[in-house]
Structure 1
Amino acid sequence: MSDALAPSAEAGGSAPPKSNAVVAVLALAGIVVPLMQTLVIPIIPELPKYLHASASNTIWAVTATLLAAAVATPVVGRLGDMFGKHRMLLVSIVLLVTGSVVCALSDSLVPMIAGRTLQGLAAAVVPLGISIMRDELPAERLAGSTALMGASLGVGGALGLPAAALIADRFDWHMLFWISAALGVVAFVLVLVVVPESKVRTGGRFDLIGSLGMAAGLVSLLLAVSKGADWGWTSATTLGLLATAVIVLLVWGWFELRTAQPLVDLRTTARRQVLFTNLASVAFGFSMFALSLVLPQLLQLPKATGYGLGRSMLTVGLVMAPMGLVMMAMAPLSAVISKTKGPKTTLMLGALIVAAGYGLNIVLMSQIWHLVLVSCVIGAGIGFAYGAMPSLIMGAVPTSESAAANSLNTLMRSIGTSIASAVAGVVLAQMTTTFGTTALPSENGFKVVMAIGAGAALLAFALASCLPRHRADAAHTASAATEPGGQAETAEVSTAKA
């Protein structure tokens, strides 16, 4: 097989040292984006004081990023396929830097929300990076590199939390955003110098109506899910937004199926390998975020509750940081399993490991080392899964659609995290215990959220089991990467339809 794939290195135009540099730079860019999103978490309780606004209004500094990322990810992915992934990657990083500077200069709510919105528009960096790897890397490097790129999402989030807590504790809070801007500038320069522009492009006409329709549907859906607990799940606003989302997305789907050059090719998305990978991504996004909701609260609740550990936000970050490192460490192993057994097996294995981690969390939650162990186990499972998903997606779509398809898969994970936040919020709000005069989430409430997280992982396992049997996914991806258009794409698509 190595002989058969040897020409790929030449076709990709990159010798191994160049490939190493491309992978390292893209992984760095992938880490910077989730790190940027995490930086604000330690200062959320203080934002009303910093911005001279109410707590209910300052939460929009988080919600705006979520909404902007959801809309931008598939749109930027499609633009990358059409006009150049390298170009759109640079545009995304510029938006991140601009948003960071705006936030760093902010002392009131409106500019902070504007800056956080700009930062959210950079969310397509990871799927763009994965698609560039498909176009540029030798075939034998692709599986491991895309697994590493997928894991960068977790690494950035896990490492960002302790770093942000430390910086917020020692310096003025604006420093968080100046550091984000500086990291973005470094990533921009390295991408500009090291990463080549892919020649794989579709060209064509951008689907403006489709992008507006998708934006309206997603914003309505995510607003209802993220703000439903505050507004009331049966309130007219929440129900109206949910109804709007359903209607708009149905009309959008009808329109996309009748458009010659759609924003999202729904026929490709409906193929079994793409469809079930995306559905499993929603479940995995739920499982990953459920842990991020449970562990910080357990660590910070007072010891007098009997189950809280009374620790600082810095300790929270240090406990969760190993999760990101484990995810990165699992990337090479994920690639090996995907190469020998197929990415379907890797995805199923990851789901079982995550479910086991939540099972451990239900019985081990009274010591710091318990939570470190749980975060590492779940991080290992997420690392396997996030490494397998790009291989499954790229093994079933033409090279010309890889950025859009990977972006849609990233969006599915984001939807899963939003649903996790809403579900966990409802459970913890209903299952409370009285501590003095304050109602706090009960120990059983946390255990129920963990059980739901385990159930979501098992759902992901069931969905992954519906994927097609292992075929030479790596070969499909390799041929598509080295022969854009023409026969490579045709062979790949016909196999996916089989």
Structure 2
Amino acid sequence: MTVPVLAFGGILMAVTQTVVVPLLPDLPRLTGSSAAAVSWMVTATLLSGAVLTPVLGRAGDMYGKRRVLLIALALMTLGSLVCALTSEIAILIAARALQGAAAAVIPLSISILRDELPPERTGSAVAMMSSTLGIGAALGLPLAALIVQYANWHVMFWVTTALSATGLALARWAVRESPVREPGRFDTLGALGLAAGLVCLLLGVSQGGQWGWTSPRILGLFAACAVVLTLWSIQQRRAERPLVDLKLATRPRVALPHVTALLTGFSFYANTLVTAQLVQAPVATGYGLGLSIVATGLCLLPSGVTMLLLSPVSARISTSRGPRVTLAIGAAIIACGYVVRIADSRDLWVIILGATVVSIGTTFAYSALPTLIIRAVPAGQTASANGVNVLMRTVGQAVCSAAVAAVLVHHTSLVGGVSIPTLHGYLLAFAIAGTVALVACAAALAIPAEPASRDAVPTRDRTEATHDKALEGA
């Protein structure tokens, strides 16, 4: 039951991050707060997830992956419960920040799968785990839209609370603690430095459109980010047990998958962002379909189902051709999906087809990334290294959100007295995302080939040997 339980946890993480989206337009009225304050319900989850993913990944490598996984799921459950009990915007934002800790579920689960499963099952299980992010997002949006439309908005958080509590109980029952650990003292200074740098970076990226990209606050945040992360990198290179092993992370077999994760995160996220806005645009625009939020969610549902069905296929390609090839194929398919979107973004069936093609490419790319990381790092650093990879996807999504917003703001027209993005603006966003996908494909092909001895996912013997060596060192 380890694989389905961990996959359920990954889907829950994506669902809890997505369900608030249909609620955003109504939250200012429901909470008596401003739209700017409400936007922090998304920003808080983004920031806490980005900060806690590498930190909890490293803690899992050191103190036990199951233990830290249960902590992440418990924080997600607590955050949902608090959201269900209050209408105060400040408390809601804090609760959403708690839910952000669940972003560490996927890297921790991937590390557990590497340690626990026989090698012939690891590839498909890791592919499934990586795909849960897209599956959960595709399922969460229509579910939340249905609840918001036909029930009190607090019901949505009661549902996620029940689901999260179920996931926590199942994980506690079905997942055993991995024996593979990397002993040592936790790098608290490194964790604080990374947190400060990431907060400055992501806060600047996410709020740049609202505060002004050349405003003193945004420029100050980016300058602070550069200074803090520079000092942090110096500290990490000198630390005996660093939070992130930068010597390992800068090797091409690790660094290039991280770069590709950032680019893939950017290109994938544009699909969800732009599709949702495009199909909801008024019919008077000449291209919009005027769909409700429920219908919009259903348009994205085939993408999630496709990701679920094709994750085993991507694992087979990685086994036969190598994850580097799978990653390159995935990025190329994403670019093809945006070609479809540019060719026709007026007919609903073509829009769904293009979005589904992008999701197919994302499935291949996301399933290959953790496999590349697993093959390139020691067993004792699997969770922390995959945590950094997930972090890079998050940064890519944040940058994509800012880029798409900037493009659409500069390409608008008045429809019924309201400023609405033009079709040209949407097509330009698709072209940018497709170009980034092609760059990701090139980066994937540049990843050095694996040594002959590492052609397969590391075996249980290697894992146990690493564990024995760690015990001898202790």
TM normalised by structure 2 equals: 0.97
Give the equivalent residue in structure 2 for 1:454: 434
Residues 50 and 108, structure 1, Cα contact 8 Å, conserved in 2? no
Aligned equivalents of 2:462 and 2:153: distance in 1? 46
- 2:93 is equivalent to residue 113 of structure 1: yes
Please list, as runs of the form range in 1=range in 2, the aligned pairs for 1:390-429 lying within 5 A after superposition.
390-429=370-409
Q: Work out the CA distance in 2 between the residues paired with 1:487 and 1:139.
A: 20
Contact residue 330 and residue 361 of structure 2 kept, 8 A = yes
Question: Residues 68-94 of structure 1, C-alpha deviation per residue, up to 9 Å, x if partnerless?
Answer: 001000000000000000000000000
Please, which of 184, 193, 196 is the counterpart of residue 164 of structure 2?
184
1:320 aligns with 2:304: no
In structure 1, the residue matched to 2:283 is 303
Output the CA distance in 2 between the equivalents of 1:207 and 1:61.
29
For residues 259 and 239 of structure 2, the distance between their equivalents in structure 1, rounded to whole angstroms, comes to 24
Alignment correspondent of 1:166: 146
Aligned match of 1:251: 231
Residues 28-78 of structure 1: CA distance to partner in whole angstroms, max 9, x if unpaired? 001000100111000000010111101111111111000000100000000
Distance in 2 of aligned mates of 1:268 and 1:39: 37
Size of the aligned set, in residue pairs, is 468
Contact 1:358 1:374 in 2 (8 A): yes
- Inter-partner Cα distance in structure 1 for 2:384 and 2:161: 27
Cα–Cα, structure 1 residues 36 and 102, in superposed 2: closer, same or farther, change >3 Å? same
Q: Which moved more, 1:410-419 or 1:328-337?
A: 328-337
Give the match's secondary structure for 2:103: coil
Equivalent residue letter for 1:306: G
Contact 1:330 1:380 in 2 (8 A): yes
> Which residue does 1:129 correspond to in 2?
109
Residue 193, structure 1, aligned to residue 173, structure 2: yes
What's the offset of the Cα at 1:292? 1.1
- For 1:206, what is the secondary structure of its paired residue? coil
Q: Distance in 2 between matches of 1:47 and 1:77?
A: 33
Q: 1:66 aligns with which of 21, 39, 46?
A: 46
Q: Greater CA deviation, 322-331 or 164-173?
A: 322-331
For the 8 Å contact 1:143–1:474, the answer to whether it is kept is no
Report the equivalent of 1:382. 362
Paired with 1:195 and 1:346, the residues of 2 have a C-alpha distance of 29
Instruction: Report the secondary structure of 2:145's partner residue.
Output: helix
Q: Following the alignment from structure 2 to structure 1, what is the Cα–Cα distance between the partners of residues 304 and 174?
A: 25
Residue 137 of structure 1 aligns with an amino acid whose one-letter code is L
Among residues 442, 448, 465, which one is paired with 1:483 in the alignment? 465
Choose which of 102, 107, 111 in structure 1 pairs with 2:82: 102
Displacement after TM superposition at 1:461 (Å)? 0.5
Aligned partner of residue 102 in structure 2, secondary structure? coil
Between 448-457 and 435-444, the greater mean CA deviation after superposition: 435-444
| 1:321-344 Cα deviation digits (max 9, x unpaired) | 111111121111111111111000
Distance, in Å, in 2 between the alignment partners of 1:74 and 1:319 is 33
Alpha carbons 1:256, 1:262 under 8 Å: kept? yes
C-alpha distance in 1 between matches for 2:261 and 2:126: 16
Moved more, 207-216 or 327-336: 327-336
Q: CA deviation at 1:293?
A: 1.1
User: SS where residue 298 of structure 1 aligns?
Assistant: helix
Q: Which residue of 2 aligns with 1:444?
A: 424
State whether structure 2 residue 133 is matched by structure 1 residue 157: no
Taking the aligned partners of 2:420 and 2:228, their CA distance within structure 1 comes to 38
1:100-121 Cα shifts (integer Å, max 9, x gaps): 0111111111110111010011
The aligned runs of 1:277-356 (5 Å cut-off) are 277-356=257-336
Query: Pick from 339, 350, 359: which aligns with 2:339?
Result: 359
* Contact 2:123-2:457 at 8 Å conserved across structures: no
Contact 1:298 1:308 in 2 (8 A): yes
| Distance across 1 between alignment mates of 2:171 and 2:39 | 33
Mapped to 1, the partners of 2:92 and 2:462 lie a distance apart of 43
Cα distance between partner residues in 2 of 1:174 and 1:476: 44
1:463-491 deviation digits (Å, cap 9, x = unpaired)? 10110124454535225334324689xxx
Q: For structure 1, which runs of at least 5 residues remain unmatched after alignment?
A: 1-20, 489-498
Distance in 1 of aligned mates of 2:295 and 2:9: 26
**Partner secondary structure for residue 134 of structure 1:** helix
Identity over aligned pairs, percent: 45
CA offsets 1:233-263 (integer angstroms, 9 cap, x no match): 0000000000000110011001000000000
TM-score, scaled relative to structure 1:
0.92
Alignment of 1:219-234 (within 5 A): 219-234=199-214
The one-letter amino acid of 1:292's match is T
The residue aligned with 1:78 is 58
> How big is each residue's C-alpha offset from its partner over 1:185-222, in whole Å with a ceiling of 9 and x where there is no partner?
11111111111110001121010100000000000000
Segment drifting more, 160-169 vs 466-475:
466-475
2:7 equivalent in structure 1: 27
The corresponding residue for 2:413 is 433
Aligned partner of residue 220 in structure 1, secondary structure: helix
Q: CA RMSD in A?
A: 1.2
Asked whether the equivalents of residues 434 and 440 of structure 1 are also in contact (C-alpha less than 8 Å), the reply is yes
